[in-house]
Structure 1
Amino acid sequence: MYREIEPGIFWIQELGPDRTEMFVGEDPPEWYRDDVVRIPQCAYLLVDEETLLFDTLSPAATEALLEDLAEILEGKSLDHLVVSHPDVPHAGNTWRVLEEYPDCSLVAPRYGQGHALYHLDEARLVGEGDSIDLGGRTVAFHEATFLDAPVSLWMTEETTNALFPVDWFGFPHHDEERLSFVDEIEGDATVDRLVAFHGRVMFWYQYVDAGKVRREIDRLIAEYDPDLLAPAHGLIVREDATEYMERMKPVVDVVSEKGRVGTLG
């Protein structure tokens, strides 16, 4: 399923498996409503004079992804496929998409090592200072500040002033909240929701210097000051984006104090 979030920018979402087991042996947080809980996978399709897909979802969503792409593109080609990092929820359909759109250019992070291991040495490698002009809009690439893989990339889109922070700012949601903006859901992206994701996926937060991380979040806010926050594992923030980035400060404090929170199994 997908939703057009701005003219020419489409949010394609895979729900992911039920993660209700996150709360086994724990007191459920206030936002939990005794319902199925998902941590979504998100991809983003930009349609302009040229087209670009950012991430590919997992192999469980192959057919749905290809159907969504065909419906949105309406016969247009896919010109660029950007893989944020070689992890299943992000790159799981890379080769299937390239088979479907053989003239598409593969774009991958230039950071880290082991590109040949993932066939990424065959891609155009990009990072800070690199961009792609799609015609009416431009995307730029950045070294990921908070990441769960050594080969990783963030992206911004200039026209909407959007930041795509990949794994950072992920959080779970209920089925009925699918493809909702954060301001459309009950209770919005609380710190508890953010802890539920980062305490499991970015559990290395327990080893960091929390003060340095908080200062790094301040740097991100000053550098990007986004109007729209589009994560790979959460819902889109279209109002008060920097205020939501501020909420990541207590998340780091909680994970740093408590250590790894539960398991994703």
Structure 2
Amino acid sequence: MANALFIALALMGQAGQPASQGPNAPPTDEYGYVAWCYGALGSYISLYDRVMPEVTRIEKAFPGPEGVAAALKTYPEIKAQAQKDLKTYSSAITAAEKASPRPISEYGGAQVKRGAAIWGGADTVDKARLAQMWMSWEPPGDCEKRAKALEVKSTILGKALNYNTTSAIAQPTEAPPAEAPAPAAATTPTPPPEPAPEAKAEPASAPTPPKAVKPAKAAKPLAPAKSSAAKAETIIDPANPAPCAGSLVPAKRGGKDVLICKAD
């Protein structure tokens, strides 16, 4: 029974298609799914040194059209690629945990264990059967795609959360409108000096009063800022993520999955 169960679970990743049922099937949410992929692939790679002697025997006993050397060369390449994929999954998981407003690492750890559990029967199955399943297994084909999408969304969300937090802590206050300067008082004309006693007095012409200084125009008050609700929707480009002063809403634009930044 244990061997039969192990075989069923180990075949979950055949042809890149995960099984939809089973005690250790991957969850549907993106974060949990990537964590499951990490556990399944990590457990698969941990068996590398253990299965390779039997894999080598099988390849020599049943050589392919390209020969034994060519076939055996692919397994170190598979291991190297798997190690790169694990880094991709790990980066996405870390980004999601940093961006999440609540702790999710405990849930992610549980999904890693569920993924690793598909290889839990490795100690009870025959070594030849184990090697055969190991040679034919591969992780679900969308693990890498979903990991990259998760990291992009988490990075955008993380920047938005940081942006909103900073704005809430220190919001710039609007400067009050400048007061209009007081109008200058009109200048009183100075009377002409009286003529000297020796000089013959001539009728003095009336002095021209100086022009009154016009009061300066009052400064116009600053126009109130437009409400964020009046702005058009902002599409966050995953290739060039930018801060979002609001909420990120998944949507489709032009047939692609995007995030729409909407004001709270």
TM-score (norm 1): 0.21
Higher helix fraction (1 or 2): 2
Higher strand fraction (1 or 2): 1
